[in-house]
């Protein structure tokens, strides 16, 4: 594919309700050493990213008011810490979130929001109405990344409906294998702002970005970027699927070296074609099939590179074997590995070091994670499958399946997923409280598959641990030698669990109890 040579003006997509405003003071804030002193900032949210934003702004000399809708022991403890280090004020409770507060009795000049808050939330809507700029922690991080006397790390950025965390961790391993000081940050868990304040001078940051984070960033200019895939998810937050796609597409804006797309997902190619990238940025594809020139792909069970070499029309560089992918070399896993490899190669990592990094990579828990085998039945924890697109990856890898599914649908549709995999389902064990769409899909496409609720009249449907214990018990009752019991809920978890990690831990603990009873 030819190089993308497009203008590189900072064009802000029209879907964003709060684009960069004409504010000379904010425009000048493009480094750690800029004049942040006295800037009046409201930080919305005191969670991981919000706390990091407030702490950073205080260190920069800004005047900070922090607001959070939760008034709990945890938020009060964080509030006390911020007050000690110099926050002007911390406001907790639902009433604090209704309108934009003043800072030292004067109007706020900037709002920095935590990514989970919807753009139509009352305080944020008030900021927009009063023409107060809203940034996310990613925008703030990009603006302070340059600091006198410190190395400025390049960014490689990863988004997608599914596979982000695995891919960013693979990328980190490949960059480190290439003797680069690199760390995975962002939505993966470590705030970008914390990494920037770390005394380590990083060469590269591998940045996982959610659609929420991308919505509130404007200036990031990554060395390379990838959108792994796009499917229905978080449509309730964004207001519609096209709005969700538009926010995902911001990953490619101002990309410098490689805009990496998924050959199997036409939307990602269209995102690259429509992006305003830096002149000379190349479009690089990845595919689980045979690669064309300027792509990475698979040839004879090898991962290969036909993009980052001179004679790409006639040659390919071997990167690794498909079997080097852990824990299971699914099609989804192959795609993630190739996307990570493309990012690493764009950053200058040698082909053999990419393979070394892939082999050194240890996948995190909760992503197609084998947890036990009982009487010939394999138990798999894929609680990270929080939407139908993610569940498709693990359902494709196993047969026959006793499927533990259900939760908060977030406005997604399971009909296509069920129709595709109905033939491999032995039974479905339902958890969750928002399953009508899934039930309709099962009735339509898998009418002969038993559907078993993971609750009795005595079960508290909001007690996730009890519900999961019942789900494991029911799955054990129907599974036979050769089956896989797969927790791949295709839905969010917050109706019955703290988060997807809690859901996966409840599954793992219940399976461990089962193993102990059977031994």
Q: Residue ranges for the binding site for ATP?
A: 160-166
Helix orientation angle between 331-346 and 388-395, rounded to the nearest 10 degrees: 110
E strands, 103-237, are 110-113, 133-136, 154-159, 182-186, 204-208, 224-227
E strands, 224-376, are 224-227, 258-262, 282-286, 295-299, 302-305, 317-321, 369-374
Residues 6+ positions from 419 with CB-CB distance below 8 Å: 441, 444, 445
Tokens of 222: 């990554």
Residue 391 CA, distance from chain mean position: 15
CA–CA gap between residue 260 and residue 307 (Å, rounded):
11
| Annotated binding-site ranges | 160-166
CA–CA gap between residue 443 and residue 415 (Å, rounded):
10
Closest Cα partner for 114 from 38, 195, 51, 167?
51
Rounded alpha-carbon distances, angstroms, from residue 410 to 170, 303, 501: 28, 35, 18
CA–CA gap between residue 108 and residue 122 (Å, rounded):
16
User: What's the Rg (C-alpha) of the chain?
Assistant: 24
343 beta partners:
none
Question: For residues 15 and 81, is the Cβ–Cβ distance under 8 A?
Answer: no
284 beta partners:
260
Question: For residues 285 and 11, is the Cβ–Cβ distance under 8 A?
Answer: no
């Amino acid at each position: 594919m030819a190089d993308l040579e497009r203008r590189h003006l900072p064009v802000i997509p029209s879907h964003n309700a709060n684009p960069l405003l004409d504010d000379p003071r904010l425009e000048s804030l493009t480094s750690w050493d800029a004049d942040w002193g006295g800037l009046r900032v409201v930080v919305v949210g005191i969670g991981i990213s919000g706390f990091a934003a407030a702490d950073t702004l205080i260190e920069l000399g800004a005047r900070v008011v922090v607001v959070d809708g939760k008034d709990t022991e945890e938020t009060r403890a964080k509030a006390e810490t911020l007050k000690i280090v110099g926050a002007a004020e911390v406001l907790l409770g639902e009433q604090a979130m209704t309108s934009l507060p003043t800072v030292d009795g004067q109007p706020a000049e900037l709002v920095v929001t935590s990514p989970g808050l919807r753009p139509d939330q009352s305080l944020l809507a008030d900021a927009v109405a009063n023409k107060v700029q809203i940034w996310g922690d990613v925008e703030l991080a990009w603006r302070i990344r340059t600091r006198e006397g410190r190395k400025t790390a390049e960014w490689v950025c990863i988004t997608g409906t599914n596979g982000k965390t695995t891919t960013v961790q693979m990328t980190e391993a490949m960059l480190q294998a290439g003797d680069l000081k690199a760390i995975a940050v962002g939505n993966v868990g470590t705030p970008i702002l914390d990494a920037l304040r770390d005394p380590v001078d990083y060469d590269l940051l591998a940045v996982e970005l959610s659609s929420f984070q991308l919505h509130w960033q404007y200036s990031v200019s990554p060395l390379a970027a990838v959108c792994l895939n796009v499917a229905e998810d978080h449509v309730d937050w964004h207001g519609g699927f096209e709005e969700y796609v538009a926010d995902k597409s911001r990953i490619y804006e101002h990309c410098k070296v490689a805009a990496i797309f998924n050959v199997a997902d036409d939307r990602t190619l269209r995102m690259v074609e429509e992006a305003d990238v830096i002149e000379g940025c190349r479009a690089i594809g990845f595919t689980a099939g045979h690669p064309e020139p300027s792509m990475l792909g698979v040839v004879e069970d090898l991962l290969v590179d036909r993009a980052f070499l001179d004679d790409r029309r006639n040659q390919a560089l071997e990167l690794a074997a498909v079997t080097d992918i852990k824990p299971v070399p699914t099609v989804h896993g192959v795609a993630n590995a190739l996307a990570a490899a493309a990012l690493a190669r764009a950053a200058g990592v040698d082909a053999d070091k990419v393979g070394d990094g892939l082999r050194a990579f240890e996948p995190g828990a909760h992503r197609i994670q084998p947890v036990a085998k009982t009487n010939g039945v394999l138990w798999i924890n894929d609680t990270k499958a929080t939407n139908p697109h993610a569940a498709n990856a693990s359902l494709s890898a196993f047969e026959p399946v006793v499927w533990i599914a259900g939760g908060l649908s977030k406005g997604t549709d399971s009909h296509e997923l069920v129709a595709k995999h109905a033939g491999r389902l032995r039974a479905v064990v339902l958890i969750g409280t928002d399953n009508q769409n899934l039930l309709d899909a099962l009735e339509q496409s898998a009418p002969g598959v038993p559907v078993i609720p993971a609750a009795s009249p005595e079960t508290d449907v909001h007690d996730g641990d009890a519900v999961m214990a019942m789900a494991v018990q029911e799955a054990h009752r129907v599974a036979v030698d050769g089956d896989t019991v797969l927790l791949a809920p295709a839905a969010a978890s917050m109706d019955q669990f703290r988060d997807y990690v809690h859901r996966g831990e409840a599954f793992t603990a219940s399976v461990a109890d089962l193993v102990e009873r059977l031994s």
